[in-house]
Structure 1
Amino acid sequence: MQCIVALMRVIVINNYGQFNHLIRRSIRDKVDCDLASNQTPPEDIDADGLILGGGPSLDRVGNCRDYLLKLDIPILGICLGMQIMGTTFGGQVTAGSIGGYAQVDVELIDEDDILKGFPAKFKTWASHADQVSLLPSQFQRLATSRICDIEAMKHRNRPLYGVQWHPEVVHTEHGEELLDNFINICKK
């Protein structure tokens, strides 16, 4: 008798950012993972979890807002993905105090399940050309920094998470753990 094991599937939504392929590469050995266009209709998303990747602009987010409103699966927003999440639920995005990529020292406010096992302070690699500046009312802030008040957030009732930094790059401390935590959330 043959045993068939169903792999968990996570889709990374390509928002035209330079690291979207790296997000997929970071998790492909742990789960079945594909990179999909942000033009993919929500009804064509067949996954246990979704990652909204980074990108250059809130003007080119395709169907990402529909994914957040219509899909009942865990979703992680990275950089622009977090900003899409913020504006979809009534928050605001404004220009950050520094542009381009830089090391950012992040302070943990609430460990929660996405930041489980993280230390009180850790170094990340992030862009703050734009950032969530007003937290949506249904969300709670999980992390902060001296240059950005809202470095990470989560929805209070749904498995929706956002981080301003890039967990998929080697310069980010605990990036692999964050992605592993997301995978574990998708397994529940």
Structure 2
Amino acid sequence: MKVLVVNNYGQFNHLIHRSIRDLVPARMISNQTPAEEIEADGLILGGGPTLERAGRCSEYLTRLEIPILGICLGLQVMAETFGGRVEKGAVGGYAEVEVEVLEEDDILKGLAPRIKTWASHADQVVSLPPDFRVLARSEVCEIEAMGHKKRPLYGVQWHPEVVHTEGGIKLLENFLEVCRR
């Protein structure tokens, strides 16, 4: 099994890659890589500074038929690609955010009902795209995690790869289980 991590120029992309590489063979790729060159069992859209710098991530979401996990900016690109809306958040900068798991689903399976996460809400999803459901929320943001109703597409606002996030590695392991199916 091989998972690729898309580098969207965020400060945690190398840590995402490292966390996945510790579990399965993984490689980081540029967000300018053409979709037809991507051969993997799963894809992770990493974080980054702005939607404008997300390269071909929308193309990956619409053209690739593999499981995709969006982290932070990756979640936001996923939402916009499928008709949701992203706006500036009221709380910028990274901080601890307590998240309430509403639906365990594939990626949140086995996590506690409430988890402490490390997240930035400088930008956040404010309108859920059609065919998606909310998986988690917080007092800061109503859409902390979402999943597609039919396709293996998932997104989280928080960073599961950092040590400050409870159950973060479990979330990544759950995503890898989806990739193995």
- TM-score normalised to structure 1 length: 0.96
Distance, in Å, in 1 between the alignment partners of 2:125 and 2:41 is 26
Structure 1 unaligned residues grouped into runs of 5+:
1-7
Q: After TM superposition, list the pairs within 5 Å mapping 1:135-146 onto structure 2.
A: 135-146=128-139
Aligned residues: 181
Counterpart position of 1:180:
173
What is the distance in 1 between the residues matched to 2:91 and 2:20? 29
Q: Which runs of 5+ in 2 are unaligned?
A: none
Q: What stretches of structure 1 move > 4 A for 4+ residues in a row?
A: none
- Provide the identity percentage: 65
Residue 65 of structure 1 pairs with residue 58 of structure 2: yes
Summarize deviations over 1:145-175 as a string: whole Å, max 9, x none: 0010000000001000000000000000000
Partner of 1:4: none
Query: For the residues of structure 2 that align with 1:120 and 1:155, how far apart are their CA atoms?
Result: 21
Partner AA of 1:179 in structure 2: L
CA displacement 1:116-160 (0-9 Å, x = unmatched): 001110100000000000000110000000010000000001000
Give the whole-Å Cα distance in 2 for the aligned partners of 1:74 and 1:142. Answer: 17
Report the alpha carbon displacement of residue 31 of structure 1 after superposing the two structures with TM.
1.0
Structure 2: distance between partners of 1:111 and 1:183: 16
Query: Residues of 1 paired with 2:70 and 2:80: CA distance?
Result: 12
Q: CA deviation at 1:29?
A: 2.3
The corresponding residue for 2:2 is 9
User: 2:107 maps to what in 1?
Assistant: 114
TM-score, length of structure 2 as denominator length: 0.99
Deviation of residue 27 (structure 1)?
1.4
Give me the whole-angstrom Cα distance separating, in 1, the residues matched to 2:50 and 2:43: 19
Q: What is the root-mean-square deviation in Å for CA atoms of aligned residues?
A: 0.5
